[in-house]
């Protein structure tokens, strides 16, 4: 339904011109949630702004149901946007904020009232309709921002780092209700985030951007288990990338073990230990100077000098791309079935 094809965007003019989006393509199907994932400055918001119609593109196309959107105004695209800072009218009431897009559509008062009340009920803000937005908590403002974005039944919902202003305790619960809400309402959604956990838990499909280019795309399981390249492996899963028998190998911190049941990586000396609640992140240095991260229960026996083994080694070629032709048996993390997965030794 929504297709972005070979999008290129630059900022500046003539000799100051800088390409920030370089040949990006993506697809958003009905009822799907997709994420644009990547570090700061990789071009996530620029892509979102182009889809919303806030920005002109240099080349490529944005199509909705097969028709180009490039000549269609932002308003006619009927997109719902939730900005990072919510962009609510602080001195207006919750009701007035949610009502705003309906007024812009020219809807009559009675219809507006019905829609605002229904959506406020849906996001749990029905009893706050007369309250001024400046008096709400961060989580409540977020609910109002989402209600305002979806009240007009948008073609597509765009979420730009929607959870970044919330504290850690609130973020997980908010992620779940936003996910369930847009899924239940069947609103196709694009979320921009730099947080891999957020992308993995909320999305049907993830596009990882790097320096304005598409680094990798896939569903969360594939992106985690079979990263297209070393950049993706490091970004998603914080994978160790090491030289192993003259091969470039990725091994996730969870897959580094003391047990002799898997492949020997070398003898490691513990050089750093960071506590992360029940787990500890251990950094070992191998004899050849390479460092390996390992995640282990902080309550278990932690050794200072130890043989380290890798449970799953993912092999990359000399350009850092996943070697796909290899097919070997392994036991994946998520279940005990033996599956054939490409690129893993
Ligand atoms: N209006 C602008 N004029 C010039 N350069 C810009 C403008 N907006 C963004 N950029 C540049 O374009 C690149 C992509 O920016 P963009 O905001 O899309 O990245 P992002 O991935 O969303 O980053 P963040 O996570 O920090 O918001 C960056 O190098 C940024 O400095």
ipTM (interface pTM): 0.96
Pick the atom of ligand 1 nearest to 38's CA: 21
- For the chain, the residue count is 345
Pick the atom of ligand 1 nearest to 43's CA: 18
Assess whether the C-beta atom of 24 lies below 6 angstroms from ligand 1.
no
Q: Assess contact for 214 and 207: CB atoms under 8 A.
A: yes
Q: How far is CA 97 from CA 49, 83, 90, 147, 248, in A?
A: 22, 14, 9, 9, 53
Q: Provide CB contacts within 8 A for 208, sequence distance 6+.
A: 37, 38, 214, 215, 216, 217, 223, 232, 235, 236
Q: Whose CA is nearest to atom 14 of ligand 1?
A: 43
Domain map (residue ranges) of the chain: 2-220, 238-342
pLDDT, tens only, 229-276: 999 999 998 999 999 989 999 999 999 999 887 889 999 999 999 998
Give the count of alpha carbons within 13 A of 282, CB side only.
27
pLDDT, tens only, 187-235: 999 999 999 999 999 999 999 999 999 999 999 999 998 899 999 999 9
Instruction: Name the class of domain 2-220.
Output: alpha beta
CATH number 2.40.128.110 is the correct assignment for the domain at 238-342: no
Assess whether the C-beta atom of 11 lies below 6 angstroms from ligand 1.
yes
């Amino acid at each position: 339904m929504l297709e972005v094809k070979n999008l290129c965007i630059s900022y500046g003019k003539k000799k100051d011109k800088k390409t920030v989006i370089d040949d990006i393509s993506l697809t958003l199907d009905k009822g799907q949630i997709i994420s644009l994932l990547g570090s700061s400055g990789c071009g996530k918001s620029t892509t979102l702004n182009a889809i919303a119609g806030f920005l002109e593109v240099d080349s490529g196309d944005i199509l909705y149901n097969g028709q180009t959107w490039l000549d269609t105004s932002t308003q006619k695209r009927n997109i719902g946007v939730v900005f990072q800072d919510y962009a609510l009218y602080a001195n207006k009431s919750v009701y007035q904020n949610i009502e705003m897009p309906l007024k812009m559509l020219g809807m009559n008062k009675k219809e507006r009232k019905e829609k605002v009340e229904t959506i406020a009920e849906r996001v749990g803000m029905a009893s706050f309709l007369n309250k001024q937005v400046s008096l709400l908590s961060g989580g409540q403002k977020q609910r109002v921002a989402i209600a305002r974005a979806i009240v007009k039944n948008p073609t597509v919902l765009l979420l730009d780092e929607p959870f970044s202003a919330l504290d850690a305790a609130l973020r997980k619960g908010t992620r779940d209700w936003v996910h369930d809400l847009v899924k239940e309402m069947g609103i196709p959604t694009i979320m921009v985030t730099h947080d891999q956990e957020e992308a993995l838990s909320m999305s049907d499909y993830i596009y990882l951007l790097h320096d304005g280019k598409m680094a990798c795309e896939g569903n969360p399981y594939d992106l985690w288990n079979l990263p297209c390249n070393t950049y993706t492996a490091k970004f998603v899963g914080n994978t160790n990338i090491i030289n192993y028998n003259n091969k470039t190998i990725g091994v996730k911190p969870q897959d580094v073990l003391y047990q002799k049941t898997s492949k020997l990586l070398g003898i490691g000396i513990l050089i750093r230990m960071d506590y992360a609640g029940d787990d500890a992140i251990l950094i070992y240095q191998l004899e050849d100077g390479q460092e390996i991260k390992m995640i282990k229960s902080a309550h278990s026996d932690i050794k200072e000098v130890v043989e380290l083994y890798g449970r799953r080694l993912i092999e990359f070629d000399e350009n850092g791309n996943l070697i796909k032709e290899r097919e070997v048996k392994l036991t994946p993390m998520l279940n005990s079935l033996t599956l054939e997965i490409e690129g893993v030794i």
